[in-house]
Structure 1
């Protein structure tokens, strides 16, 4: 069910020693969006209001596409007045609403059948809100418990049921590598293959490959494994060196993986560091993505 296009014919360009292989159509690169989690500290402290997110994206960073996080309007999923205000602000600014990242609604792969069903149904309202806002997807977590294979079966069951509901709304269900076995690229790929639905996919995150305390999955291997199912991508960032490069992730290598998978959609800035202010971290990530994108041979 791998959904990304296969690239034939290549151009090689080099950045920091990492060749980036592009398809024969060099007009195709990637677009940049902003994930609301980049501002989570300011939102949690109420220094910023959720309704101002689109304005910040557009007016401070000239970014015209955003990814919402449900925790910043958790009690507003069914509040049509509030959703209308969100949509109006985005539309007035010319900002595209891409997806809603959903947390706090239960485990899609819960071993308890009743809890799993409840978790699936808890996401319905977010799919409906996403449809109203003009998003293409909701991001969910494939958290489960048990053996490796048991968790594949449980996550598959929950995801398939949720995806079938979302399909009636024209909304995708996408899974982020977000800890536990979901950060194991081989495991998440197996879940995608087993669900086997055109509306299910992944949201590969550059940095979220922590399996458990002090145990990590190779991020480049993981990205290669889950990119074929990608319907969105998160450019996670924490710290930067004096050259503006992210210290934990080779962005040139990651973008090579993204483009080689045939993905040319939005790559969402998701700054999560502490050394810089959130505004500075977003700007540094934006500049790095632009640097990678503007390498010789890529036409913007």
Structure 2
């Protein structure tokens, strides 16, 4: 396995100190084997494809592979055809970045337009259709697609397994985020064990945890699906058993990148 880092981890540094994405890539090169983009954050007036090519050229120059491109998506958008077409354009950006893997979201809940039965199983065929169409397009470009336990609607391992079985395409896999299972009130080590064999990319992050019966702890904390409180922190400082999760992944045969994500309040990147 190799270590990568997400541009998302540098958000605080960029906003606080005015650092550029190229500064972030230079810093990552000091310790990481790869770099991941969570959305492109394209400057005003720039064409995303041209900007992606510039980022790839810089990454090639400093010897830092871009290993994954992660974007927002919603397979429960009212116009599924339009959303699939939009995400396929993002696949083109992943190709320009030179990424072997692209992660897209699945959905963040039932939209207002939806009037059917509000269970995961009732919308699973539609979710699978969108993901399948996207991965069929990506396969033509040599890019594998995956979806992450991201957003409380899709943060339980049984839902992840159900979706990959429904998509039924070898080009499509799962992105296992060790920390995000807590957002859906699922235990990390059990969940990682369930999805490890189907995972083609991994995120490592850590959270502080307070039980939901206490008052809201304040800035930086957010609620899980069940009402507990989480706050991002430095890997190793929280309750996510990152080292144990890594062993589970290794024992399952995973041999890809593990991207470090930092979303805490501690000063970054020190």
- Which position in structure 1 is the counterpart of 2:137? 165
- Tell me by how many angstroms 1:270 deviates: 0.6
Residue equivalent to 1:135: 99
| C-alpha separation in 2, matches of 1:90 and 1:209 | 31
Contact 1:67 1:97 in 2 (8 A): yes
CA distance in 1, matches of 2:144, 2:91: 9
Q: Counterpart of 2:245?
A: 254
Match of 1:220 in 2: 189
Query: Could you tell me how far apart the structure 2 residues matched to 1:248 and 1:219 are?
Result: 10
1:43 aligns with 2:37: no
Per the alignment, do residues 120 and 149 of structure 1 end up closer, same or farther by CA in structure 2, a change over 3 Å counting?
Answer: same
For CA contacts below 8 A with separation 6 or more, give which structure has more relative contact order. Answer: 1
| Residue aligning to 2:233 | 239
For residues 1-300 of structure 1, what are the structure 2 equivalents within 5 Å? 30-44=1-15, 47-58=18-29, 61-73=30-42, 78-103=47-72, 106-110=73-77, 112=78, 114=79, 116-143=80-107, 144-145=109-110, 146-210=118-182, 216-237=185-206, 238-239=232-233, 245-274=236-265, 276-280=266-270
C-alpha deviations, 1:105-126, integer Å up to 9, x for none? x41233x3x2x22221111222
* TM-fit CA distance, 1:80: 4.1
**1:65 Cα deviation from its structure 2 partner:** 0.6
Partner SS, residue 205 of structure 2:
strand
Give the TM-score of the pair, scaled to structure 2. Answer: 0.80
Q: Say what the alpha-carbon RMSD is for the aligned residues.
A: 2.2
Shift of 1:64: 3.0
Shift of 1:87: 1.5
- Structure 1 length-normalised TM: 0.73
SS at match of 2:102: strand
Distance 1:156 1:75 in 2: 34
Distance across 2 between alignment mates of 1:169 and 1:75: 27
Q: Please report how far the alpha carbon of residue 97 of structure 1 lies from its aligned counterpart in structure 2 after TM superposition.
A: 0.7
How many residues align structurally? 237
Give the conservation status (yes or no) of the 8 Å contact 2:148–2:174. yes
